Amino acid sequence: MKTVGLCRPSIINRMVMKKTVMVEGMKCEHCAAKLESMLNTVEGLTAKVDLASKTALLESEHEISDDDIRGMIDFAGFKAADIH
Protein backbone atom coordinates (compact mmCIF):
# COMPACT_ATOMS: atom_id res chain seq x y z
CA MET A 1 0.00 0.00 0.00
CA LYS A 2 1.41 3.38 -1.02
CA THR A 3 1.34 6.27 1.47
CA VAL A 4 0.64 9.67 -0.09
CA GLY A 5 1.06 11.74 3.06
CA LEU A 6 0.32 11.84 6.72
CA CYS A 7 -2.69 13.83 7.90
CA ARG A 8 -4.72 13.56 11.02
CA PRO A 9 -8.36 12.76 10.15
CA SER A 10 -9.61 15.51 12.48
CA ILE A 11 -7.82 18.11 10.34
CA ILE A 12 -9.08 16.67 7.05
CA ASN A 13 -12.72 16.62 8.18
CA ARG A 14 -12.72 20.01 9.91
CA MET A 15 -14.96 22.57 8.23
CA VAL A 16 -13.67 26.10 8.62
CA MET A 17 -16.05 29.04 8.37
CA LYS A 18 -14.61 32.32 7.10
CA LYS A 19 -16.64 35.52 7.08
CA THR A 20 -15.99 39.25 6.78
CA VAL A 21 -18.21 41.54 8.79
CA MET A 22 -18.57 45.27 8.13
CA VAL A 23 -18.85 46.86 11.59
CA GLU A 24 -20.48 50.20 12.38
CA GLY A 25 -19.79 52.21 15.53
CA MET A 26 -16.04 51.69 15.97
CA LYS A 27 -14.42 55.08 16.48
CA CYS A 28 -10.99 54.30 17.94
CA GLU A 29 -8.40 51.56 18.47
CA HIS A 30 -9.92 50.86 21.89
CA CYS A 31 -13.26 50.05 20.21
CA ALA A 32 -11.59 47.67 17.76
CA ALA A 33 -9.58 46.00 20.54
CA LYS A 34 -12.70 45.62 22.69
CA LEU A 35 -14.61 43.91 19.88
CA GLU A 36 -11.69 41.68 18.89
CA SER A 37 -11.13 40.63 22.49
CA MET A 38 -14.80 39.81 23.02
CA LEU A 39 -15.10 37.81 19.78
CA ASN A 40 -11.95 35.83 20.58
CA THR A 41 -13.55 34.56 23.81
CA VAL A 42 -15.90 32.38 21.71
CA GLU A 43 -14.56 28.81 21.63
CA GLY A 44 -13.16 27.89 18.22
CA LEU A 45 -13.50 31.44 16.84
CA THR A 46 -10.56 33.59 15.74
CA ALA A 47 -11.27 37.26 15.01
CA LYS A 48 -9.12 40.05 13.60
CA VAL A 49 -10.70 43.48 13.74
CA ASP A 50 -9.40 46.34 11.58
CA LEU A 51 -10.43 49.88 12.50
CA ALA A 52 -9.30 51.45 9.21
CA SER A 53 -11.50 49.21 7.07
CA LYS A 54 -14.15 48.83 9.80
CA THR A 55 -14.15 45.06 9.34
CA ALA A 56 -13.92 41.94 11.46
CA LEU A 57 -12.45 38.86 9.79
CA LEU A 58 -13.84 35.75 11.45
CA GLU A 59 -12.62 32.16 11.15
CA SER A 60 -14.19 29.31 13.05
CA GLU A 61 -13.90 25.57 13.37
CA HIS A 62 -17.72 25.49 13.43
CA GLU A 63 -20.41 27.22 11.40
CA ILE A 64 -21.78 30.30 13.17
CA SER A 65 -25.00 31.81 11.85
CA ASP A 66 -25.14 35.42 10.68
CA ASP A 67 -27.77 36.07 13.36
CA ASP A 68 -25.40 34.81 16.07
CA ILE A 69 -22.59 36.97 14.69
CA ARG A 70 -24.87 40.01 14.70
CA GLY A 71 -25.88 39.21 18.27
CA MET A 72 -22.27 39.00 19.47
CA ILE A 73 -21.36 42.28 17.78
CA ASP A 74 -24.50 44.00 19.12
CA PHE A 75 -23.66 42.72 22.62
CA ALA A 76 -20.25 44.40 22.34
CA GLY A 77 -21.98 47.71 21.52
CA PHE A 78 -21.51 47.81 17.74
CA LYS A 79 -23.57 46.95 14.67
CA ALA A 80 -22.87 44.34 11.99
CA ALA A 81 -23.79 46.19 8.80
CA ASP A 82 -22.96 43.43 6.32
CA ILE A 83 -21.71 39.85 6.58
CA HIS A 84 -20.18 37.95 3.71
C-alpha distance from residue 81 to each of 3, 32, 43, 48 (Å): 48, 15, 23, 17
Domains, the chain: 16-83 (3.30.70.100)
* Contact criterion met (CB below 8 Å) for 25 and 76: no
Q: Which of 25, 22, 16, 18 is nearest to 83 (CA)?
A: 22
Query: Residue 1: which pLDDT band, with cuts at 50, 70 and 90?
Result: very low
| Number of Cβ atoms within 10 Å of the Cβ of 7 | 8
Quick: pLDDT tens for 14-71. Answer: 658 999 999 999 999 999 999 999 999 999 999 999 999 999 999 999 999 999 999 9
